Amino acid sequence: MKNTRLSFLIFAFMLTAICAAEEQPNILWITSEDNGPQLGCYGDEYAITPNIDALAQTSLRYHRCWSNAPVCAPARTTIISGMYATSLGGQHMRSGVRLPEDFRTYPDILREAGYYCTNNSKKDYNFDSEDGGWDESGKKAHWRNRPDKKTPFFSIFNFTVSHESKIRTRPHQLKHDPAKAPLPSYHPDTPEVRHDWAQYYDKMTEMDQQVGKLLADLKADRLNESTIIFYYGDHGSGMPRSKRWPFDSGLRVPLLLHVPAKFSKLAPADYGIGKVSDRLVSFVDLGPTVISLAGMKPPASMQGVPFAGKYDGSEKKYLFGYRGRMDERIDMVRTCTDGRFIYMRHFYPDRPYLKHVDYMFQTPTTRVWKEMHDAGELNVAQAKFWQNKPVEELFDLREDPDETTNLAKHPEYQKKTTELRNTLQKWMQETLDLGLLPEAEMHRLSDSQSPREYALQHKKLFTHLGDVAFHSMDEQHGYSIPDLLKLANDPSSAIRFWAVRGLAIRSSSDMRRMRALMKASKDESPSVAVAACDGILSQENSHERQMGLKRLMELADVNRHGHYAAVAALNVLDMSADLDAAERKQLANLPRQAKNPPARLGKYVGKLIDHATTKE
């Protein structure tokens, strides 16, 4: 052990000496929360963002950068790891997954190269530890705190004034005229919606002022000629159907890259002051890119491709996005784009797009939008997002930037649909997408090791799971009932889960289906049992329904089967069960929180119980 430690120290010393032989750039990341490209430099005439616009005039602007995840914690998990969050099991909002033993973040690697790394101030990773590898992380973290002026720095400054929570803060005196606010076609045109959009743009202006102040500080410290600057948003806007949803509206973020003349050799090949790059980039590429800018080769474990620096990689043909559990609501969506067309695959087509997420419903737009849907006051494009989803969707971003017209079934788009469908499935299988395991099952199966290590040991399983998940959820073109009945008896609980999910969503009168669901409701895997009960509840006023309801109540007891199984059971009870007064009382009496809940997850069980027992 001592020899290993000594070898590592010698390696780190030699690496530092090599890097020191050639001057290293300082690197500054400026990030803003919950905003897409609603900026003047991206052609938005309603936006007032002079400081970022000025930075764009001296930078390369990326036309399409994706955050990979449309919400903060999974997106930050992707950035800090240089890996798709789905490959770590960290795609769910507010989750704490165990990391592999040899895991290293990009700050770990930069520090080995001699960088002083600071984060001001948000971490928010979906790991069981939030260390991140920083020299300093917090509200006082700053490049000015480095040990001496010769030490190169990597610094992040994260501005929260544009966060979703700031959009709905009242009272607020609007500066942008709400009558002129550009509304997407899927939002209803109401005073509440216009106010929220106008306030969002007000907050973008405030954020822009903070960016200007930071850039002025950099210049005052005479560091602007030796610092490579990135500016980006952390995912789409905080408005509903952007944040939390892997449409382009939820994944597309602004990205500016400024490389001073001193380090021009580190700039991308298409770099030019004030130019626009059509190169497809995403958050998984950010960590490898800064490592490359520091003169180091990114580790093979990182899945991103550097788009600048010594190890600038090949351009990507596709970008990928993902949605997992969003707070208390379980979902699974995967997205792929070639830059013009976006393909979306839904693994819970039996659920609506917009489910009741307590935090999201605090925004006035969300509430009025849902109220108008329930009153039948929306047009087709607006009503769509409160209805159940199709299995797959294809959108043409050039002709339909709001992504409201599904082209997946149009004959003239079958070739493109097939291309992106196959590309997405292959990516899920090759990257060992842990979303193919329901969250409770992922934790149950990985047990004492990290989910990533479990996946690496079961690569063949994940290849099979990719096929099973795709075909089980496609009632029209997927597996038949006999196929699913066979898979429902598979030795693997993960395979059984998707087979049972497939049986649950199919509207078949085949009695073998119900017998299989009843059997699966007693499965040793709580995830399989929950999936079975979901299908059983469709039997109105039947003995089977009462049995399924009883089993779900057991599974929803957080102290019997754990937090993740309880959340899954409560999702089904809330979405599928029409509970009578006695059943609501029984549900209300369940424990609202585990004795030792996972970090930051304690309130989700209680929120689900509240909604299921109080909704009309």
Rounded CA-CA distance 353/403 in Å is: 13
For residues 453 and 446, the answer to whether their CB atoms sit within 8 Å is yes
Q: Which of these, 26, 25, 28, 24, lies nearest to 215 by C-alpha position?
A: 28
**In DSSP terms, which residues pair with 396 in a beta bridge?**
341
The CATH topology of domain 437-614 is: Leucine-rich Repeat Variant (1.25.10)
The per-residue pLDDT for range 188-203, each reduced to its tens digit, is 999 999 999 999 999 9
Question: Band of the pLDDT at 78, cuts 50, 70, 90?
Answer: very high
- Pair of tokens at residue 1: 């052990």
- The CA dihedral of 131, 137, 143, 147, to the nearest 10 degrees, is -70
> CA-to-CA distance for 76 and 307, rounded, in angstroms?
19
Cβ atoms < 10 Å from Cβ of 5: 9
Sorted by sequence, the CB contacts under 8 Å of residue 11 that are 6+ apart come out as none
Longest dimension (CA), the chain: 77
Instruction: Provide the pLDDT for residue 616.
Output: 65
- What is the location of CATH 3.40.720.10 in the chain? 2-316
**Could you give the CA distance from residue 247 to residue 395 in angstroms, rounded to a whole number?**
9
**Averaged pLDDT of the chain:** 94
Residue of 396, 538, 393 whose CA lies nearest to 474 = 393
Per-residue model confidence as pLDDT tens digits over 368-382 = 999 999 999 999 999
pLDDT higher than threshold 50 for residue 1: no
Q: Which residues are catalytic?
A: 72
* pLDDT value of position 131: 85
> Is the distance from CB of 384 to CB of 353 less than 8 angstroms?
yes
Q: What is the pLDDT of residues 404-413, one digit of tens each?
A: 999 999 999 9
Residue 24 DSSP code = P
The pair phi, psi for residue 255, each rounded to 5°, is -145, 120
For 252, the 3-state DSSP assignment is strand
Please give the CATH number for the structural domain made up of 2-316. 3.40.720.10
| Nearest partner of 517 among 492, 550, 476, 484, judged by Cα | 484
Interatomic CA distance for residues 104 and 111, integer angstroms: 11
Using alpha carbons only, give the angle 596, 602, 607 rounded to the nearest 5 degrees: 145
pLDDT value, residue 108: 97
Sign of CA dihedral 144, 147, 150, 156: negative
What does the pLDDT look like over 317-369, one tens digit per residue? 999 999 999 999 999 999 999 999 999 999 999 999 999 999 999 999 999 99
Q: Is the pLDDT of residue 462 over 90?
A: yes
Task: Say how far apart CA 378 and CA 549 lie, in whole Å.
Answer: 34
pLDDT in tens, 264-276: 999 999 999 999 9
Neighbouring C-beta atoms of residue 225, cutoff 10 Å: 12
Q: pLDDT at residue 21 above 90?
A: no
The sign of the CA dihedral 373, 375, 380, 382 is negative
- Asked whether the predicted pLDDT for residue 223 surpasses 60, the reply is yes
Q: Is the four-CA dihedral 575, 578, 581, 587 of positive or negative sign?
A: negative
Distances (CA, A) of 10 to 77, 115, 518: 30, 17, 62
d(CA 213, CA 390): 46
In this structure, is the dihedral angle defined by the CA atoms of residues 97, 100, 101 and 102, taken in order, positive or negative? Answer: negative
Half-sphere exposure of 224 (CA within 13 A, CB side): 13
Helices (H) and strands (E) counted in the chain, each on its own, are 24, 13
> Does residue 18 surpass a pLDDT of 60?
no
584-599 pLDDT tens trace: 999 999 999 888 777 6
Classified as helix, coil or strand, 66 is: strand
Q: By the 8 A CB rule, do 473 and 391 touch?
A: yes
Give ranges for CATH 1.25.10 in the chain.
437-614
Q: What is the pLDDT of residue 584?
A: 92
Q: Cα(429)–Cα(593) distance, rounded to whole angstroms?
A: 35
For the chain, state the CA radius of gyration: 25
The two structure tokens encoding residue 469 = 């998940």
Q: Say how far apart CA 282 and CA 345 lie, in whole Å.
A: 19
Q: How far is CA 36 from CA 53, 516, 574, 579, in A?
A: 14, 46, 32, 40
Estimate to the nearest angstrom the gap between the alpha carbon of 15 and the chain centroid: 35
CA distance 39 to 361: 26
Average the pLDDT over 429-452 and give the result: 96
The model's confidence at residue 6, banded by pLDDT at 50, 70 and 90, is very low
Whole-number Å distance between alpha carbons of 247 and 235: 11
pLDDT in the model for residue 12 = 47
Of the candidate ranges 148-152, 191-195, 440-444, 580-584, the one whose mean pLDDT is the lowest? 580-584
